[in-house]
Structure 1
Amino acid sequence: MRLIFTFFKAYPTQSIITLGAMLLAGLAEGFGLSMLLPLLGVVINTTSGGEGPGGSTQSNLERYVAGFFDTVGLSPTIGVLLTFFVGGIVLTALLSLLANKKVGYMVAQVATDLRLALIRALFATRWEYYVHQPIGMYTNAYATEANRSADAYLYGIRVIALLLRTTVYAVVALLMAWKETLIALGAGFFILYILRRLVTKAKKAGQRQTNLLNGLLALLTDTLQSIKPLKAMAREDMADLVLQKETNKLNRVLQKQVFSKEALKALQEPLITIFFAFGLYVAMIWWQIPLATVITMAFMLVKIIKTLQSAQKEHQTMVIAESAYWSLVSKIRENEGAHEAIGGTVVPCFDRAIRLDKVSFSYGVKQILRDMSLEFPRGTFSAIIGPSGAGKTTIVDLITGLLSPQSGQVWIDDLDLAAVDLRAWRRMIGYVPQETLLLHDTVLMNVTLGDAKYSALEVEDALRAAGAWGFVSEMPDGIDTVVGERGSRLSGGQRQRITIARALVHKPRLLILDEATSALDPASEAAICATLRQLRGTLTILAISHQTAILEAADRAYRLEGGYAHFIEKNDFARGEGEGFGAPA
């Protein structure tokens, strides 16, 4: 029940209101049912000419009911008893509706809160941590584990509700015949005890399901992202075999869950039937309990045992889903532990230049940058070239604050980046990655990313600045045209221009292009470079590239190699000699 206590701690007010409604519903039902024995006594005694209400053969319950009616000044006739019986059941239904509505709202709220907590924690992590996380695992956590966690809350609340009702039924039954009730309760808990192993097996199967889904969804996401090259090489069957193997494992776990649930259901019924058959025989033959009491006791004890049976079923379903909650919470806490430092509090201006001063950085034992000093003056178009792994993207990550220098400093004008408000600085940056990550949505949505503060006119200005307005204006619905899955309805150059417009719409001071033209054909690359040349001066451009077209468009360039940066003279790369080195930076 640790899960239930955890949820109650997280949602105390809502949980108390819900349980209060459930408790009142149980009391109302118990009050209505307490009319049943006196009602049967009246009917049986009237038809048999026996002793009516208030006779010496009355049970404690009948005497309590008679005392209640004396207090309120009513006679316990059949009509009055029936009225109170029906009223109690109707009130129970209304209170149950209130409680179930509250539970339904809470289930949705639990799933929503967990999803938002996961997203916030993940987005706030350090970049070094984030890049090593399997995206599919978090997709599974956001979708499947959040739903299963909310279901676990639902089943847990149902368990508590059923136990509350069992308590009310037991009190009513104890007032009728306490010895028999205690025996019945003992038998009921004994039945639950001998079937507990099926609950344990179901819990283990649920934990296995959670682990398998984490791995399977991570594998599936990675496979779907690389399906094109797999199909091009006719190797998708290998991925299919791996996914098939993991899916079959999941299927076997689900089969175990089904067996445990059905076995519990199948075994509960005969055990309860045997107990009641024996109990009725003992009550009527050995103990010779009055018929009205036997009927009412049988009814109450059936409700008690059936309610306990239902509670065990709900508990079994809860423990199957419970592992998803702990798995999701562990991810949230792990991400919170990898929280990114927010930096300082100073808002930069970026009036003069960005400088790297004797910066060194390594990934593990691999040294990437060695005492590197670079400068990118405001309003210039700078290019960084070099072989893969030379540290080009690392420099960009240092400038954006995604990474911190292990020695040396990054300066914005005269401000050390360590003292700068990173979010304020990043709002001054437009970033264009190598991969054009477009949403399956409109051009407008892809440029604004859903931010309502940007008007259609501002989107148009950004598209014009990116050289995209020409083809966008000719689309059937203009900026409201859907671009297709990952921008499939657009050419590579068009997709990249939409991405550049996204980076420009918030009017940045620094535009970073990380291999943004490497996947384009020469004509598209030349067109993008022409657009960039028109932007220089109005904002600072820093481009990482292997392409000579970027060098020709840039004002200045550096080549990285062996952990060092070398300045390339403008006349060198203008003559196509960008591979040569000029004066060291």
Structure 2
Amino acid sequence: MRFLITIIRKYPRRSALTLICLLLASIAEGIGLLMLLPVLSVATDDQPQGTGSHLFGAQQILTQALSVVGLKPTVGTLLTLIILCITVKAAFSLLAKTQVGYTVTHVATDLRLTLLRTLLAARWEYYVRQPIGGLANAVGTEAMRASMAYFEGAKAITLLIEAIVYAGVAFAVAKMATFAFLVPGILILYGLSYLVRKAHRAGTRQTKLLKSLVAGLTDSLQSIKPLKAMAREELIGPSLQSSTKRLNRAFQREVLSTELLSSSQDLTLALVVVVGLYVALSQWKMPLNVVMVMVILLARMLTFLAKMQRQYQKARTLESAFWSLQAAIDGASGDRETESGGPSPNLEKALRLDKVSFGYEKYSVLRDASLTIPAGSFTVIIGPSGAGKTTVADLLTGLLRPQQGRVWIDGLPLDGVDLRQWRRMIGYVPQEPFLLHDTILRNVTLGDPELKEADVEAALRAAGAWDFVAVQPFGIHSSVGERGTALSGGQRQRIAIARALVHRPKLLILDEVTSALDQENTATICRTLRGLRGRLTILAISHDAAVVESGDRVYRIYNGEASLVTNGHDPDFVHSEPAEQSKSKG
């Protein structure tokens, strides 16, 4: 119920309109059924006796209401009004169901958009802790299951309103008989509520297992190429098969709970109706027309209550997806990146790390590290794996914040500038460039509407990529294939460099962009970078001697410290241990 209340609060107007339409539809249907009383009385010539009977009171009210509008309670008139009531009920039901349908689509869409917005606004550290497959599952499966939970819950509310209206009409006809039917029916449904809780537990289990399965599958498929190359792909099978089997058992428990509830309801409620019918005819000696109407009213009322419980069971089974998705939204919101909204930087003089310390939990990466990257220079950072080279780049971009010390852009501290404007001045090329299964144009612009084809061509020329792009069958409109498989490794890197250059950045960061390239492609990339020297500031993280030789300044990260290597054209120092006498703080 908390889930439905939460959704209703999110969409108050639509929910209010839906409830009003459902109520009016149910009232119309109730009035139509109530009109069966005089119809049956006229047809059977079985008029109620005694002014104190509830039947007489209800029929008298109908007769008086018809006389007010100038109608006589004939069979034809009453049947026409019954058809009219059914029509009104159908119209309001259609409007209510339409509103529910619209809300279902809004729930899924709004949850996805909210999650996407919070994810994009989260700090980089948040992504490091999250399995990508789990987030993909939240956007896809969990959003859909959450919307279906609302759909099933809305249907349960619809059935509950109809049952309440039927109960009210039945009380107007025969109060004691209705009470005698209603009490055992409600007690039976309450006794079966443990099957609802059982289905809810199965649904919660499904949500957890689906998240785990999709996360594991995503990670496995990302590494499928080397696994297949080594004929080791079968090693990922047992784990995924185990998760799939556990998920299957959770679905089986849900199916069992659902079918048990339906079968138990059918049997027990049918028994209530049969016993009630026997008592009404044999013990209470009720008129046949009253019994016929009461059987219709009470049977439908109990049927609606039973269906309501089944729909509520489905909603409870699915609602765990909503809370899981909401937890992901809350988690990303709690890790939201704060923006200072300060002045926009220019990077006209230098970019500096000033006595910066940073670590992950108990693991220290940088300790009082200082370095200077002059504007327009080509600076290279080297060091052993895990020394903190990429951490330096993340600190310069503001993805990470120093735990001690500061990052400076000219004379402005990074934590005091407009961070978004600063990042718009950066072009970033990772070690493993991501390419969309789309055209070269789309991969360079990423869909930015402000970038024209002339901008793309200029960026491709600057990245040394135009020669191979121009000979593609459709030029910049040629597809790069899945993850760029239609291109070579060097071509993919140059497309990534073009993407980084297309918005004319002031700082270009390259993280091990030649690590997976052969000597020829590495030489091509280095020529490209040397051609960019002076036009923008370049920071390259690399182990490659050719890249190092291309740099103006070289820093070595070692034991948490940054040391300026004065001779950037000597390739021997790249693989040597740093000598204390050669260290000079930049």
What's the TM-score once normalised by structure 1's chain length?
A: 0.96
Aligned to 1:370: 367
Partner Cα separation in structure 1 for residue 471 and residue 407 of structure 2: 44
The alignment status of 1:333 with 2:303, answered yes or no, reads: no
Aligned to 2:97: 100
Aligned to 1:311: 308
Partner Cα separation in structure 1 for residue 238 and residue 456 of structure 2: 46
Amino acid at match of 2:21: A
Choose from 176, 179, 182 the match for 1:179: 176
Partner Cα separation in structure 2 for residue 396 and residue 452 of structure 1: 28
Aligned to 1:15: 15
Choose from 347, 350, 357 the match for 1:360: 357
Partner Cα separation in structure 1 for residue 454 and residue 75 of structure 2: 78
Kindly tell me: are residues 297 and 51 of structure 1, through their superposed partners in 2, closer, same or farther at Cα, counting changes over 3 Å? closer
Deviation at 1:104, TM superposition (A): 0.8
Counting only pairs closer than 5 Å after superposition, residues 120-199 of structure 1 correspond to structure 2 as 120-199=117-196
Aligned to 2:71: 74
The alignment status of 1:485 with 2:513, answered yes or no, reads: no
* Contact kept in structure 1, 2:49 and 2:56, CA below 8 Å: no
- 1:320-371 deviation digits (Å, cap 9, x = unpaired): 0011111111121122111122134121111111011111222233322222
Amino acid at match of 1:357: D
- 1:510-563 deviation digits (Å, cap 9, x = unpaired): 000011111111111111111111111111110000101111222221112112
Choose from 218, 221, 226 the match for 1:224: 221
Report the count of equivalent residues.
580
The secondary structure found in structure 2 opposite 1:361 is strand
* Contact kept in structure 2, 1:162 and 1:311, CA below 8 Å: yes
Aligned to 1:573: 569
The alignment status of 1:233 with 2:230, answered yes or no, reads: yes
Which stretches in structure 2 are left out of the alignment for 5+ residues? none
Deviation at 1:297, TM superposition (A): 0.9
* Contact kept in structure 1, 2:550 and 2:569, CA below 8 Å: no
The alignment status of 1:462 with 2:433, answered yes or no, reads: no
The secondary structure found in structure 2 opposite 1:511 is strand
Amino acid at match of 1:14: R
Partner Cα separation in structure 1 for residue 406 and residue 516 of structure 2: 33
The alignment status of 1:41 with 2:37, answered yes or no, reads: no
Partner Cα separation in structure 2 for residue 14 and residue 143 of structure 1: 24
Choose from 63, 84, 87 the match for 1:87: 84
Partner Cα separation in structure 2 for residue 563 and residue 196 of structure 1: 61
- 1:420-456 deviation digits (Å, cap 9, x = unpaired): 1111100000000001211111112111112222112
The secondary structure found in structure 2 opposite 1:573 is coil
Choose from 277, 280, 285 the match for 2:277: 280
Aligned to 2:392: 395
Q: Matched residues, percent identical?
A: 51
* Contact kept in structure 2, 1:568 and 1:578, CA below 8 Å: no
* Contact kept in structure 1, 2:425 and 2:507, CA below 8 Å: yes
* Contact kept in structure 2, 1:433 and 1:515, CA below 8 Å: yes
Amino acid at match of 2:39: L
Kindly tell me: are residues 174 and 51 of structure 1, through their superposed partners in 2, closer, same or farther at Cα, counting changes over 3 Å? closer
Deviation at 1:53, TM superposition (A): 11
- 1:463-519 deviation digits (Å, cap 9, x = unpaired): 121111222222122222221110111111111111111111111110000111111
Aligned to 2:445: 448
* Contact kept in structure 1, 2:340 and 2:418, CA below 8 Å: yes
Partner Cα separation in structure 2 for residue 390 and residue 575 of structure 1: 20
Which stretches in structure 1 are left out of the alignment for 5+ residues? none
The alignment status of 1:32 with 2:32, answered yes or no, reads: yes
Kindly tell me: are residues 101 and 287 of structure 1, through their superposed partners in 2, closer, same or farther at Cα, counting changes over 3 Å? same
Aligned to 2:289: 292
Partner Cα separation in structure 1 for residue 165 and residue 453 of structure 2: 63
Partner Cα separation in structure 2 for residue 429 and residue 56 of structure 1: 87
Deviation at 1:177, TM superposition (A): 0.6
Moved more, 335-344 or 16-25: 335-344
Aligned to 1:543: 540
Partner Cα separation in structure 1 for residue 292 and residue 106 of structure 2: 44
- 1:22-42 deviation digits (Å, cap 9, x = unpaired): 111111211222211111111
Partner Cα separation in structure 2 for residue 218 and residue 307 of structure 1: 40
Partner Cα separation in structure 2 for residue 272 and residue 101 of structure 1: 31
After TM superposition, where is structure 1 displaced by more than 6 Å over at least 4 residues in a row?
Answer: 52-57
Choose from 112, 115, 124 the match for 1:118: 115
What's the TM-score once normalised by structure 2's chain length?
A: 0.96
The secondary structure found in structure 2 opposite 1:436 is coil
Deviation at 1:60, TM superposition (A): 2.4
* Contact kept in structure 2, 1:7 and 1:153, CA below 8 Å: yes
The secondary structure found in structure 1 opposite 2:129 is coil
Aligned to 1:346: 343
Kindly tell me: are residues 559 and 43 of structure 1, through their superposed partners in 2, closer, same or farther at Cα, counting changes over 3 Å? same
Amino acid at match of 1:420: V
Aligned to 2:522: 525
Partner Cα separation in structure 2 for residue 333 and residue 366 of structure 1: 28
Amino acid at match of 2:2: R
Partner Cα separation in structure 2 for residue 56 and residue 385 of structure 1: 99
Amino acid at match of 2:239: V
Counting only pairs closer than 5 Å after superposition, residues 53-64 of structure 1 correspond to structure 2 as 58-64=55-61
Aligned to 1:4: 4
